[in-house]
A = this chain, B = another copy of it.
Amino acid sequence: MRRPTLEAVAARAGVSRATASRVVNGQTTVAPHIRDAVLRAIDELGYVPNSAARSLVTQRTDSVALVVSEPGTRVFSEDPLFSTAIRSASVELEAINKQVVLMLASSPKSHARVERYIAGGHVDGVMLLSMHGADPLPAALARLRVPVVSYGRPAVPVDIPFVDNDNVGGAESGVRHLVESGRRRIATIAGPQDMIAGQDRLAGYRNVLRDSDCRSIVAVGDFTRESGAVAMRQLLGDDPSLDAVFVANDLMAVGALQSLRQAGRRVPDDVAVVGFDDIEAAKYTEPPLTTLRHPVTEQAAAMVGLLLNLFEGGPTDPVILPTELVVRESA
């Protein structure tokens, strides 16, 4: 007992398959009474178009791959940014009737799988959440001549439209906030330097503190909570007189707060802390975290817009969205 086909609908409605197809696809060149007959047949039979057959002839699939090329660690589960981005992108794509195919690419093996899948024409376009610089995927996909947009500026110079937030500007305003509130020895916990976000946020820190005596030392984490805790301990050991720290993301900032507490430093009295991202948890730390908010939802929406332009030939200039300093109690 197979699913009913268009043929069956046509037969029941007493019309040709072509006419039934016209009705299904909403063409207006069908007489009302015939149209009604077809619609009734569709309803009675419970007809649903076969997508494989349809995309075989239309060469479209109406689905988009969301490729998350994660750095291998468990960041995906832990960092709420991923789920927020996935969720937003998903909602946006839904609105334009595209399906989301989620692909996680961590190992080289799965990279190959992703490439094969994309090359197989399963999807009309790709949204890439690529995080680390050495990632071969952006270039590989671009080579496939498939519409690709990237969340975050690709680390390798490859010609892909992208959406990013103003990492440099955000970091600058965060650090400036520390300077203006009178801090004198401002350290930073930078993100991984093979990620653009890691690089740019460190650059922003350096831009503000260059040639000033407020500068302190730099520790590098990998955007996980744990690495933030480790880096903070290290900073405290290397420069016990630091009175502020700019942390490249909130997850690491949470770890840093923990280390500061363990070291007996009061926040913000002894050490001020500024994070980046404004994840939900930033409201709930002790004390609540001053951080830089960037509009993940808008970013996702912009990404979908870019992809649409890629399909339809609109402008595909990179979109850089601003960040906003959210002052809470930690700085």
Contacts and interface: CB of A to CB of B under 8 A. Distances in A.
Nearest to A81: B77
B120 A48 contact: yes
A55 interface: yes
Given A83-B83, A116-B48, A261-B286, A103 B104 contact: no
Contacts of A261: 286
Interface in A1-42: 3
A317 interface: no
Interface in A47-66: 48-53, 55-56, 61, 63, 66
A58 to B, nearest CB: 9
Contacts of A63: 101
How many of chain A's residues touch chain B, expressed as a range?
Answer: 35 or more
A323 interface: no
Given A78-B80, A121-B51, A286 B286 contact: yes
Contacts of A53: 52, 56
A99 interface: yes
Given A52-B53, A77-B84, A86-B102, 10 more contacts: A49-B120, A52-B56, A52-B61, A53-B56, A77-B80, A82-B83, A101-B101, A101-B102, A102-B102, A258-B284
